[in-house]
Amino acid sequence: MPRQPARSDPRPDPRERFGWHPEPELIGFDDEARSRPALEALGTAAWTAGLDYLYGEAFRRAMGEPAGYGALRRVFYGTAPDGSTAAPAEAPRDPTTSAALIEEFRTRLAPHSLNAYHPRSLSYFTPPPLLMSIVGEILAQVVNQGVDVWHAGPSSAFVEEEVGRWLCSLVGYGPGSFAVLTSGGVMANFMALTMARDIHLAKLLNLRRPPRGRDLEGQRVYASDQAHFSIARALDELGFPAETLHVVPADDRFRLRGPAVAAAIAADRARGLRPFAICAVAGSTNTGAVDRTVELADLAEREGLWLHIDAAYGGAVRLSGRDAARVPALERADSVTIDPHKWFFQAYDIGALVVRRGDDLIETFQRSPEYYRGGEPEADAHRADEGPGADKPLNYYQRSMEGTRRFRALKLWLSWKHLGTDGLGRLIEANNDLAAYLARRIGELDDFEALPAEPELSVVCFRHLPGGRTGSANLDGAALDAHQDLLQAALEASGDAWLSTTRLRGRTYLRAGIVNFLTVESDIDRLLDDLGRLAAES
């Protein structure tokens, strides 16, 4: 006799299940008729609070107030009975209404944030996110996909695969290439060096297994003194001795050059050491400098080395038909790091590792735990070179250090479609033009100097010279450094703009990282006016 279907009973009233909460319809929201009005009201309240932050705070000050760490910590946590700053509160035991929480965001958080939207917020690489990126982030969190095993995020795996194909094409890779989204450049660089160790170094050592332990002694990786800190950190975490990283001094424009690395390789080989990788930078964090990647690609090919290019910032220049040539030879690298949450104007977080041979990812990271039986066995796993239409599940945990991963691709997918490659390229070109404008203005002023005088991309490092070029010529170096720090702090406290500082050749410089598509030339003029005024007042 056929089994009769179970009787479908109406959903119980959420007030019966969640009556302990003041807003039960926001906890038990599985009945549309009962909960949808409350959810729409919550969405309206949250979006309104976001827009109030945008127009009430983000465009008012470049940095929230108070600007100092100690002062803001006291504001956030309050004051203890002994007059010291209070400690973080214990976890709440009782529920709070959504209205009260949104109000806490308005009063306790919004006025005290870094305001990346402000047109004179030019520090680090924190651009204002495109609004379509924010929409994508909201939708990604609603559908809540885990992009590790295909069944945990079916369509999200396809979205990431498609975005990855766009990134591969941007780099210049052909069939067989692949891209994996990461939390940022640190993770992407770490994964790239893991592949270099387990695939390329294993080949150089004639091993049939990934090199470990004593195998890692006597190896050398080459990078400049401008390389990101994550290169050294990755080598350390991967088990290499500290001396594995051979730091080669950059040239007078902060670029790693082929001849200098060639000389270092020859010296190391003469000592019986084994070079196996070069880590170049295309858009350094300090100055935006682009290593001479053509020279380094030629050298890596000649010497049989793995070439990784950290283009976390500068890789986005490939979006611009006009400026793409500023970042050459990415397609000749074995692996490339790109961070869309930098110059693709994406909400945090989204980085990417782009590799010339997608199977390198599988060979390095593939594992098949028992509880991931929703996918195909390891031997039949979807291969990167099968291309569109492949019928094996795409399980990203087999291509990444990470297991469960956020649906990062949706916001970039929507943003890229919304603006198109040409539109994104226009935003980048505008930033490059503003950096050139800032450098040109500095060159015209007697009391500022830039290093280098002309930027390669959209980073300008410069300093204020009290008394002008002649008057500051004999100024003590430490005093001049302290002057830049005081000037930066005064600018930050004013709220009218925000710059970071960095150290170049042992000296302190102000650093403008122009990745803000809302910035215009008048903002650059006002920034320089502010700095001149604050210097005169100090």
Query: Which amino acid, residue 296?
Result: L
Average pLDDT of the residues in 147-167: 94
Strand partners, 56: none
Q: What is the pLDDT of residue 6?
A: 59
Give the total number of structural domains in the chain.
2
Torsion of CA 158, 161, 162, 164, to 10 degrees: 160
Edge-to-edge, what's the strand order for the sheet holding 500-504? Answer: 448-450, 459-464, 507-513, 500-504
Q: Is residue 384 a contact partner of residue 176, using CB atoms and an 8 Å limit?
A: yes
Q: Give 317's DSSP letter.
A: G
Q: Which amino acid is at 274?
A: R
How many CA atoms, within 13 angstroms, populate the side-chain half-sphere of residue 194? 19
Predicted confidence at residue 379, as pLDDT, reads 43
Mode of pairing for the β-strands spanning 306-310 and 219-224? unpaired
Q: Which of 384 and 81 is assigned the larger pLDDT?
A: 81
Domain stops at, among 63, 80, 113: 113
pLDDT for res 272: 98
State the pLDDT confidence band at 538, using cuts at 50, 70 and 90.
confident
Give the pLDDT mean for 455-468: 96
Q: How confident is the model at residue 392 (pLDDT cuts 50, 70, 90)?
A: confident
For residue 317, give the nearest of 348, 298, 347, 293 by alpha carbon.
293
Nearest to 119 by CA among 61, 64, 68: 61
| Model confidence band, residue 385 (pLDDT cutoffs 50, 70, 90) | very low
Between 351-355, 373-377, 425-429, the lowest mean confidence (pLDDT) is in 373-377
Q: Name the band, by pLDDT with cuts 50, 70 and 90, for residue 171.
A: very high
What is the model's pLDDT at position 10? 72
DSSP code string of 133-148: HHHHHHHHHHHT---S
Going from the C-alpha of 391 to that of each of 382, 418, 533, the distances in angstroms are 7, 30, 65
* 318 or 152: which leads in pLDDT: 318
As a residue count, the chain comes to 538
Check residue 371 and give its pLDDT. 64
- Across the range 363-378, mean pLDDT stands at 69
Per-residue pLDDT at 241: 98
**Is residue 532 a part of any domain in this protein?**
yes
Buried b (16+ CB within 10 A) or exposed e, 57-92: bbeebbbbbebeeeeeebbeeeeeeeeeeeeeeeee
- pLDDT confidence of residue 11: 74
Is 70 a member of any domain? yes
Rama region for 368: left / alpha / beta (φ>0; ψ in -120 to 50; rest): beta
Amino acid at 432: N
Q: Judge whether 500 lies within some domain.
A: yes
The last residue of a domain, from among 51, 83, 113? 113
Find the range with the poorest average confidence among 36-40, 138-142, 468-472. 468-472
Query: Residue range 410-429: average pLDDT?
Result: 98
Could you tell me if residue 223 is inside a domain? no
What is the pLDDT, as a whole number, of residue 378? 46
pLDDT at 257 over 60: yes
Structure confidence by residue, pLDDT tens digits, 513-524:
999 999 999 999
Do 72 and 66 meet the contact criterion of CB atoms below 8 Å apart?
A: yes
The first and second tokens of residue 10, run together, are 């109406």
* Other residues' Cβ atoms within 10 Å of the Cβ of residue 416: 23
Position 9 pLDDT exceeds 90: no
For residues 141-169, average pLDDT? 95
DSSP 8-state assignment for residue 336: E
Is 429 inside any structural domain? Answer: yes
Please compute, for residue 477, the number of CA atoms within 13 A of its CA located in the half-sphere on the CB side.
Answer: 6
In which domain, by residue range, is 478 found? 420-537
- pLDDT of 472 reads 83
> Which pLDDT belongs to residue 536?
94
Q: What is the CATH number of the domain that holds 515?
A: 3.90.1150.170
Question: How many CA atoms lie less than 13 Å away from 3 in the CB half-sphere?
Answer: 2
Confidence of residue 470 (pLDDT cuts 50, 70, 90): confident
Q: Which pLDDT does position 67 carry in this prediction?
A: 80
**Consecutive H or E run containing 512:** strand 507-513
Residue 248 pLDDT > 90 = yes
Nearest to 363 by CA among 334, 329, 337: 334
pLDDT in tens, 50-87: 999 999 999 999 999 998 899 999 999 999 999 999 99
Residue 197 domain-assigned (yes or no) = no
| Neighbour order of strands in the sheet with 219-224 | 178-182, 351-355, 335-338, 306-310, 274-281, 219-224, 245-248
* pLDDT tops 70 at residue 294: yes
- Residue 80 domain-assigned (yes or no): yes
Do the domain assignments include residue 495?
Answer: yes
Q: Return the pLDDT at 382.
A: 43
Angle at 266 between CA 261 and CA 270, to 5 degrees: 145
Reported confidence tier of residue 384, pLDDT bands at 50, 70, 90: very low
Average pLDDT, the chain: 93
Which of the listed residues 65, 81, 113 is the one where a domain comes to its end? 113
Residue percentage of the chain with pLDDT more than 90: 87
Non-local (6+) Cβ contacts of 411 within 8 A are 129, 132, 133, 134, 135, 136, 137, 140, 346, 347, 350
Looking at residue 5, what is its pLDDT?
60
Please give the share of the chain, as a percent, with pLDDT higher than 70: 94
Q: What is the pLDDT of residue 380?
A: 44
Question: Taking the model in full, what pTM does it have?
Answer: 0.94
372 pLDDT band, cuts 50/70/90, is low
Write out the DSSP string of 209-273.
S---GGGGTTEEEEEETTS-HHHHHHHHHTT--GGGEEEE---TTS---HHHHHHHHHHHHHTT-
